[in-house]
């Protein structure tokens, strides 16, 4: 039985996540607390690993109940703690010194700062997919690969790349249910698989797409032949959620059930 094996919330966009046992759906479809904060430069652009390698060496801990963030530089001992409401200027000062330019920590409690505003629901991936892809890179452990995928919900008891069937082609969506919540799998997302803090980045990144295509043909030749495998080189599934799901909770252990494939029903689903 496919089920929710783990749930991760990423309080600050582009920084470390925290494992939780359950998560509440917001009216936007996002998980409460996920990407609620973001670091921006003076121009308002997000500070992320694509634009600033310093992000990869910044470690975050986060107490969601008490709204306390802990920041430290990787491979150092000192961790500085800030209350994200009362000590916001202190956080911004510390981060500005770290990055070497002025930044602000902004917050959006209603919808967070999703990677895709058209599909702001939680992202999905199979636990076995993470393990399988990590095995392709000798110096990348499973937890490092999990950090690079940064998916919200991991699905267990399914083979690697099973989640590929959670999105359709063209304007079709795949409807599936997790606990009390109906999701629509919209399209695949392309995670940043490798970071500058990992030595394999320079070795593998130029040939990443070729590697993924080769693995596709090797692992699932029947699906390749029939054309039923969609965009293998995109390894997480992005979702949208009807606003009626606001307040509902997804738990670890909830069953994942595929319902149907077709046009989006977001505007027609009953409460």
**pLDDT at 216 (0 to 100):** 62
170: left (phi over 0), alpha (psi -120 to 50) or beta: left
Q: What is the pTM of this model?
A: 0.85
Beta-carbon neighbour count of residue 157 at 10 Å?
Answer: 14
Give me 106's structure tokens. Answer: 């902004």
- What string of pLDDT tens digits covers the 271 residues of the chain? 999 999 999 999 999 999 999 999 999 999 999 999 999 999 999 999 888 889 989 999 999 999 999 999 999 999 999 999 999 999 999 999 999 999 999 999 999 999 888 889 999 999 999 998 888 877 778 888 888 889 999 999 999 889 988 987 778 889 999 999 999 998 776 555 544 444 344 444 445 556 666 766 676 555 444 444 444 446 789 999 998 999 999 999 999 999 998 888 775 444 4
Residue 269 pLDDT? 43
CATH annotation of 3-31+115-262:
2.40.33
Give rounded-to-5 percent helix, strand, coil for the chain. 25, 30, 45
Q: Where in the chain is the domain with CATH 2.40.33?
A: 3-31+115-262
Rounded to whole angstroms, the Cα distance separating 196 from 205 reads: 11
> Helix H segments across 59-189?
88-99, 127-135, 142-149
Pairing verdict, β 103-107 and 37-41: antiparallel
The alpha carbon dihedral of 114, 119, 121, 125 has a sign of negative
Q: Which one, of 252, 243, 98, lies nearest residue 182 by Cα?
A: 243
Q: How many helices (DSSP H) and strands (DSSP E) are in the chain?
A: 6, 15
Contacts of 128 (CB under 8 A, 6+ apart): 156, 158, 159, 160, 162
CA 20 – CA 104 distance, rounded (Å): 27
How many Å apart are CA 184 and CA 258, to the nearest integer?
A: 10
């Amino acid at each position: 039985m496919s089920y929710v094996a783990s749930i991760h919330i990423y309080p600050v966009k582009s920084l470390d996540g925290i494992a939780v046992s359950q998560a509440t759906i917001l009216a936007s479809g996002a998980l409460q607390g996920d990407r609620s904060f973001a670091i921006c430069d003076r121009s308002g652009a997000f500070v992320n690993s694509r634009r600033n390698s310093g992000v990869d060496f910044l470690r975050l801990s986060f107490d969601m109940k008490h709204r306390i963030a802990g920041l430290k530089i990787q491979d150092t001992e000192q961790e500085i703690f800030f209350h994200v409401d009362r000590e916001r200027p202190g956080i911004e000062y510390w981060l500005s010194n770290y990055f070497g330019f002025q930044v602000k920590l902004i917050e959006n409690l209603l919808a967070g700062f999703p990677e895709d505003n058209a599909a702001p629901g939680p992202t999905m991936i199979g636990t076995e997919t993470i393990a399988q892809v990590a095995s392709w890179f000798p110096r990348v452990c499973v937890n490092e690969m999990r950090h690079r995928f940064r998916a919200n919900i991991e699905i267990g008891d399914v083979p690697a790349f099973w989640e590929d069937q959670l999105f359709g082609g063209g304007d079709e969506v795949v409807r599936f249910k997790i606990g009390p919540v109906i999701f629509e799998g919209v399209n695949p997302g392309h995670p940043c698989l490798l970071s500058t803090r990992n030595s394999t980045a320079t070795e593998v990144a130029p040939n990443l797409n070729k590697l993924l295509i080769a693995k596709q043909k090797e692992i699932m030749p029947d699906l390749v032949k029939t054309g039923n495998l969609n965009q293998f080189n995109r390894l997480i599934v992005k979702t949208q959620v009807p606003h009626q799901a606001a307040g509902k909770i997804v738990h670890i252990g909830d069953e994942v059930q595929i319902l149907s494939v077709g046009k989006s029903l977001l505007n027609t689903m009953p409460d």
